[in-house]
Structure 1
């Protein structure tokens, strides 16, 4: 067991070096933030100051590891994808470092309009870093979209669809500053700071929120579709892995073309979910309190996705029986 684990760790260590160094730094920040959550009782806009660095560290570690694994697969344009991944690693590290530094200082990393020169410089770096991360992901998605990056069709489609969903999630993050919901907030030291925008819709930031995520329970929250879209990549990859595992038990799933079509259905359904969550947030509606319209739209989306999956499976069953029938006739 230890030999297998050692071999796996050595293999992972050979993945894209800048990305894995960034992931290592995120794991270190994860530990520091976890300790901070325990020993540092300061609160910023109703949330522990170390909660945001903690969440950023988890998200960046998961996404960076996923990206490093994808780039370890044979593909054309590897020099370009490696360079783009390095851009992602460096900017991701810098932006997350700013989040951690601001948390330690007890002030805001996002939308901080303080006139202090140090704050203004950090805001410029942070904003440009966010843009670079999204542009690097768009370029990666385009390069990988024109080629089959995995021998298994379903996994290849999961990579293509997942990268697209991640870019959509990143783009949705720009809806937050577009609100232009300026407000005055207090640092942990009691200093008044102007924030140019906020993530909540219909209510001030810092109100009641869900455990850990702090997503608003009294109004809309644009962080929700942003998060769901951003990690659509991991959802699609997990879906492909689950279908591959089920294929050992269910012959209907053994054809990777069937599994690829099911991943396509899942991607369309997931896109609908992102749209639904965005619509819900923009209507100032809490995630846990959907109205009749939201519930109806969710039910319709679920039904359409289920029907589409059923159509794929029925077609696969007919193709399988047709092939068996032809084989019998030939015999």
Structure 2
């Protein structure tokens, strides 16, 4: 007698509902609520931006509170979900969740308040208040990094997910930590410019060399934690073996790592992310092929 499988959309919805809420623990739900609030904060700033207008560049752009709210919100939500796949005492789950939610919320609040005041949030020491807020932002991101380190260690030592999902989470967490390292590079670079007397209002503190986009090298690894586990989750609905899934997610991890390597290399060399002159842009073919192969294989498995 053949097994009757529910339609794919129904199966996906049931998985999301069960994993994200029905079976979630208290500290996970805290992360979901805070993450959703941060995303809404970012979207609200997006509405303001659409009404009042303004450039997407510069230290006073509305883009910053939008991207901070959405990015930190997505990351907080995702890490809350990952907490349900880690074997850890309840008290440690609450500890990490409180550290993560508190620090990400304060980071978004800082950027939002400074934009409301009409002054730069980063690299701003024009007044004692601005300098104190910039220093406070550094403290909150240090707390965030501490929480990320704890989650990464747990992902390698006590992950209860299957092999493909476990390695997707580990790869995403390592990429997220790499994004923080690039962020520290950005801060050191910007402070060096400040010490040299350069104003954040007249110069981009995140341009390295001729045209290296440090924000690009920071953003690329930031959201591997959504892409890789998301791909592994989709693979779980396909009719293929665990070994095949692991092979496909390994290709995706390698593709994302090579994408970060290209982004970091171009930034360090002072090149624009996608200039049309340098032959080095052809290196993007490597991550495109690897990520494309994993995505096509997943789509084919879902179609079957």
Q: Same fold (TM over 0.5)?
A: yes
Deviation per residue, 1:117-162 (Å, 9 max, x gap): 2112111110111122112101210122113321x22112111211
Deviation per residue, 1:24-81 (Å, 9 max, x gap): 3213313420231023346696476322111111111211111111112351345324
CA contact (8 A) 1:42 1:106 kept: no
Number of residue pairs matched by the alignment = 276
Alpha carbons of structure 1 residues 5 and 38: separation in structure 2 relative to 1, 3 Å: farther
TM-score (normalizing by structure 2): 0.79
C-alpha displacement of 1:272: 1.8
Q: Look up the match of 2:28.
A: 16
Task: Flag the structure with larger Rg.
Answer: 1
Q: CA RMSD in A?
A: 3.2
TM-score (normalizing by structure 1): 0.73
Q: Structure 2: state its 5+ residue gaps.
A: 1-9, 295-304
Q: Look up the match of 1:29.
A: 41
C-alpha distance in structure 2 between counterparts of 1:127 and 1:47, whole Å: 17
Alpha carbons of structure 1 residues 44 and 112: separation in structure 2 relative to 1, 3 Å: farther
Q: Look up the match of 2:247.
A: 261
Identify the range of structure 1 (133-142 vs 261-270) with the bigger mean alpha-carbon deviation: 261-270
CA contact (8 A) 1:15 1:72 kept: no
Q: Look up the match of 2:179.
A: 169
C-alpha displacement of 1:290: 5.2
Q: Secondary structure at the match of 2:199?
A: strand
Identify the range of structure 1 (125-134 vs 29-38) with the bigger mean alpha-carbon deviation: 29-38
Q: Look up the match of 1:148.
A: 159
Q: Secondary structure at the match of 2:120?
A: coil
Q: Secondary structure at the match of 2:193?
A: coil
Tell me which protein shows more helix as a share of its residues: 2
CA contact (8 A) 1:134 1:167 kept: yes
What is the 5 A alignment of 1:177-256?
Answer: 177-179=187-189, 180-182=192-194, 183-186=198-201, 198-202=205-209, 219-245=211-237, 247-248=238-239, 254-256=240-242
Q: Look up the match of 1:160.
A: 170
Q: Structure 1: state its 5+ residue gaps.
A: 187-191, 204-218, 249-253, 310-331
C-alpha displacement of 1:86: 1.4
Identify the range of structure 1 (41-50 vs 281-290) with the bigger mean alpha-carbon deviation: 41-50
What is the 5 A alignment of 1:1-331?
Answer: 11=22, 16-41=28-53, 46=58, 49-73=61-85, 75-114=87-126, 116-150=127-161, 152-179=162-189, 180-182=192-194, 183-186=198-201, 198-202=205-209, 219-245=211-237, 247-248=238-239, 254-289=240-275, 291-299=277-285, 305=290
